[in-house]
Amino acid sequence: MSPAMAIVKDQSKANDDVLDSQYQKGVKHLCENGINKVPRKYIWPDSDRPNAADHKQPLLHVTMPNLNLPIIDFSQLVGPNRSQVLKSLSIACEQYGFFQVVNHGITNDVINNMIDVSTRFFALPFEERSKYMSSDMTAPVRTLAVSYAKETKFLFMRIVEAILESLGVWGATMNGGGGNDDEILKPFEDGSQLMVVNYYPACPEPDLTLGMPPHSDYGFLTLLLQDEVQGLQIQHQDKWVTVQPIPNSFVVNVGDHLEIFSNGRYKSVLHRVLVNSVKSRISVASLHSLPLESIIRPLPALIDKANPRRYKDTDFSSFLGYISSCEPKRKNFLESRKLMI
């Protein structure tokens, strides 16, 4: 996972000692204690702030107006428009790395309940929230999140089926050719799912910091549910653009694993989160991939003389080893897996 904030290390040790316990309790705890300035710990360098211009690469920090991502209407996958929807899905994965899914089959009640329970959780006093805290990524979800997790896993599998068909490999095996649909889908059915609920409080100085720094997602696909408050930005055509939320939709993005799996045809894309001074924001990310012990490699059916293999094998332990040896930034890990061709 990418670090949530850049850390500026020029503050005094005395201040660190005083604030350290509060930092460990999270940004919301700081806000509840009435801060009116962003602590130095969370202030980004000038060149990395939301509205800063990078003089070496000036386009990378220019922010464009809101972006309407490609919309994939899942109800149209059944019927005469299926081929057109698959074509739109392929273009979205190639050119944007993101798309929004509507008419996905998950009821408004399930979606609203997930947003509601997340909001109520973060409204609890810190002492109550801390009872649910765990550093164990495999800890099970609880209460209403269980139903939501099952529904998003089912939706993930439907999206995987559509993506495989859009890649032209439906019926190919993981080892290349001659298999059936069940064989290629089985590893995804048994795959990993990590749910992350993010709360971004209103920030007194939003121009100094980010809710989340630029990064790509490590897994295969991420399904993001967000409330009506804007904040998600993606890098598109060398500019930062704000994603316009659509009620009861899911923002879906290509992860590093899908970029490797597709041998570079579908791209994971840098994205970040802005904060604002007026409203808090809630999002629920459901990150999906193959089983944690799997070896991720380009699908053999997508490799030929015209499209040679572009990525090394990788696995979760390689990722953990990489982030333990250096600070993960942008798409550095994925770049480390590319082959020189």
pLDDT tens for each residue of 208-250:
999 999 999 989 999 999 999 999 999 999 899 999 999 999 9
Distance of CA 178 to the CA centre of its chain: 33
Question: Is-contact 275 213, C-beta < 8 A?
Answer: no
**Crossing angle, helix 181-189 and helix 145-166, to 10 degrees?**
150
Q: Which residue has the tokens 């600070």?
A: 327
Nearest residue to 256 via CA among 341, 184, 337: 337
Q: Which residue has the tokens 């939709």?
A: 249
**Beta-ladder partners of 197:** 284
C-alpha torsion 1→64→264→217, nearest 10: 10
Question: Is-contact 170 181, C-beta < 8 A?
Answer: yes
pLDDT given at position 92? 97
**41's tokens:** 């710990």
pLDDT given at position 2? 38
**182's tokens:** 């069940």
Q: CA-CA distances (angstroms) from residue 63 to 66, 68, 71, 194, 297?
A: 9, 14, 22, 30, 34
> In this structure, what are the phi and psi dihedrals at residue 145, rounded to the nearest 5 degrees?
-65, -25
- Spatial CB neighbours of 179, under 8 Å, sequence gap ≥ 6: 171, 172, 173
What gap in Å lies between CA 93 and CA 194, rounded to an integer?
A: 22
Domain ranges of the chain: 66-130+145-171+191-337
**What is the pTM assigned to this prediction?**
0.85
Nearest residue to 4 via CA among 198, 134, 193, 170: 198
Residues in the chain, pLDDT under 70: 1-25, 52-65, 137, 141-142, 171-180, 324, 326-329
Q: CA-CA distances (angstroms) from residue 173 to 33, 170, 266, 297, 300?
A: 55, 8, 19, 13, 9
State the DSSP code for 237.
T
Query: Considering the domain 66-130+145-171+191-337, what is its CATH architecture?
Result: Sandwich (2.60)
